[in-house]
Amino acid sequence: MAASGALPKYWMFSDEYTQNPYEAFSVLRAEEPVTLVETPDGARAWLVTRYEDVRSALADPRLSRDIEKLYEALGRQIGKELKATDEITNHLANSDRPRHTRLRKALVFAFTPRRVADMRPGLEKAVDELLDDLAVQKQPDLLVGLTEPLPIIAIAQLLGVPPSDWRQFQIWSRTMHTVDATDPTGILAQHTRELSDYMAGLIAEKTRHPSDDLISAMVHAEGDKLLSPKEILSTAFALMTGGNETTTALMTGCFAALLTHPEQAARVRADLDLLPRVVDELIRFSSPMLYSLQRLTLEDVEIGGTTIPAGEIVMISPASANHDPEAFADRPEELDIDRPKPAHLTFGHGIHNCIGSHLARAQAEIGIRRVFERFPDIRLAVRPSELRYQPTLLARAPMALPVRL
């Protein structure tokens, strides 16, 4: 089934869409804002693209994030049994109320603005060390040198992972986000087991010897913040994998936006105090989250005038919403660092809004500030049109960001 009269059946898997999804989103918002899309292997989902519909769908309790139900529905579609492992079934992003409420309550203390402010010196030190290494590279790449390793370091520090293990986490994290649940090679299952075994060992160590980190806090929590062993493992697993790719995409997208708009970058570089305000416009413009985590309809649900039957998978596009002219009437396809703080939906809406949004913003702000302070003449080493984006159904960012320092 074609998504609309103007788009081919598998438009979502074309290189044209990968490199510029906004043309397709514009067509869909105008012609078929809630549309059925299919994959070559038989999976299907309803795609929501308009801002108001996206915002409403993200907060609709009839759209479930129960990962076991989602896997069951996907398995029925492709004719293959998919089993959700303990590592992914027991954390808040893959849970509904009331369990989600309890899990979030146990974790939110670690991601407050005050806690993130306490982390800033460590983040600044990590950025400075990464830039030291970047400065001596013959062909420096901001993705490889900064925006990929920094989020791993940030989450590793938060969890209490030793620095010697950060590189291995990068390998595991990349697998989790480039290989899907239908993987026939076995590499996803292998790396899932390896990461799970490692996290179980780290939890055991923090149980015996607690320190000032999130795993220690979870292990030794009491009362209504007490989590089960499976929930602690699943939460640590999710933070170590889910918190990396999305923040990498966010940071890379912010840098790409600035480096492809040199006049606006020059204004930011001349007044770095603009950054706390400008970061949200960079996030809105680059829209690193193409789609939120998929939902499943628990009953018939009407969205944007279309009734989606019960038991159907729903894809919700913050990226499309962030470029919707109905929500951003003043040139939504352009970067405007003078735009009043945009109410973008990159971090979601409702109970599943991103718990780590303050930490993600801080990493972007610190990274940009330190790069511009250290390398005021930084520029792209390729033409903007040469930046290539990796095919993905979640986070969107350039595959590489080569620069001249």
**Which pLDDT tens digit goes with each residue over 153-169?**
999 889 998 888 888 88
| Global confidence as pTM | 0.91
pLDDT the model gives residue 181: 65
CA atoms within 13 A on the CB side of 337: 21
Residue 3: inside a domain: no
How do strand 301-303 and strand 306-308 relate by DSSP bridges?
Answer: antiparallel
Q: Tell me: the pLDDT tens digits for 15-73?
A: 999 999 999 999 999 999 999 999 888 899 999 999 999 999 999 999 999 999 999 99
C-beta of residue 324 within 8 angstroms of C-beta of residue 50 = yes
**Which of 363, 355, 283 minimizes the C-alpha distance to 120?**
363
Give tens-digit pLDDT for 305-327: 999 999 999 999 999 999 999 99
- CA-angle at 120, arms to 114 and 122, nearest 5°: 130
The whole-chain average pLDDT of the chain stands at 91
The set of residues, in sequence order, having a beta carbon less than 8 Å from that of 270 and lying 6+ positions away, is: none
Q: What is the pLDDT of residue 87?
A: 77
- Residue 116: both structure tokens together: 């993130």
Whole-number Å distance between alpha carbons of 159 and 44? 36
One-letter identity of residue 361: R
The answer to whether residues 227 and 78 touch, using CB atoms and an 8 Å cutoff, is no
Integer Cα distance of 216 and 202 in angstroms: 10
Q: Identify the band that residue 5 occupies on the pLDDT scale cut at 50, 70 and 90.
A: low
Pairwise CA distance, residues 324 & 374, whole Å: 36
Q: Is residue 254 part of a domain?
A: yes
Let me know: does 123 contact 146? Beta carbons within 8 Å.
no
What pLDDT was estimated at residue 22?
96
Question: Total domain count for the chain?
Answer: 1
The answer to whether position 320 is within a domain reads yes
pLDDT at 377: 95
- Residue 3, pLDDT above cutoff 80: no
Are the CB atoms for 253 and 397 separated by under 8 Å?
Answer: yes
pLDDT score of 250 more than 70: yes
Note the pLDDT of residue 1. Answer: 35
* Per-residue pLDDT at 222: 86
Whether residue 1 is contained in a domain is answered as: no
Strand duo 44-48 + 313-316: pairing: parallel
CATH code, 335? 1.10.630.10
Residue 129 belongs to a domain: yes
Q: What's the helix, strand, coil split of the chain in %, to 5?
A: 55, 10, 35
Closest alpha carbon to 320 in 346, 281, 351, 357: 346
Average pLDDT over residues 128-143: 96
**Rounded alpha-carbon distances, angstroms, from residue 383 to 135, 221, 334, 388, 397:** 21, 52, 18, 11, 16
The answer as to whether 172 is a domain residue is yes
Query: Would you place residue 91 in the very low, low, confident or very high pLDDT band (cuts 50, 70, 90)?
Result: confident
Determine how many CB atoms are found less than 10 A away from the CB of residue 54: 27
pLDDT digits (tens, 9 = 90+) for 175-215: 876 676 667 788 888 988 898 899 889 999 999 999 989 99
Q: What per-residue confidence (pLDDT) applies to 378?
A: 97
Instruction: Taking residues 275-294, report their average pLDDT.
Output: 95
Alpha helices in 95-213 (DSSP H): 99-107, 113-135, 142, 149-159, 166-178, 187-208
Asked if 150 and 246 count as a contact pair (C-beta separation under 8 A), the reply is no
* Sign of the alpha-carbon dihedral angle for 176, 58, 388, 129: negative
For 314, what's the count of Cα atoms within 13 Å in the CB-facing half-sphere? 34
pLDDT attached to residue 278: 96
| Structural domain of 246 | 11-404
- Say if 2 falls within a structural domain: no
Task: Give me the percent of the chain exceeding a pLDDT of 70.
Answer: 97
Amino acid sitting at position 196: S
Per the rule left: phi > 0, alpha: psi between -120 and 50, beta: everything else, 305 is left
What is the identity of the amino acid at 230? K
For residue 403, what are the contacts with CB-CB under 8 A and spacing of at least 6?
Answer: 140, 141, 142, 259, 378, 379, 380, 381
Q: Tell me how far apart the alpha carbons of residues 188 and 194 are, in angstroms, rounded to a whole number.
A: 10
10 — pLDDT class (breaks 50, 70, 90): confident
Would 5 be classed as within a structural domain?
no
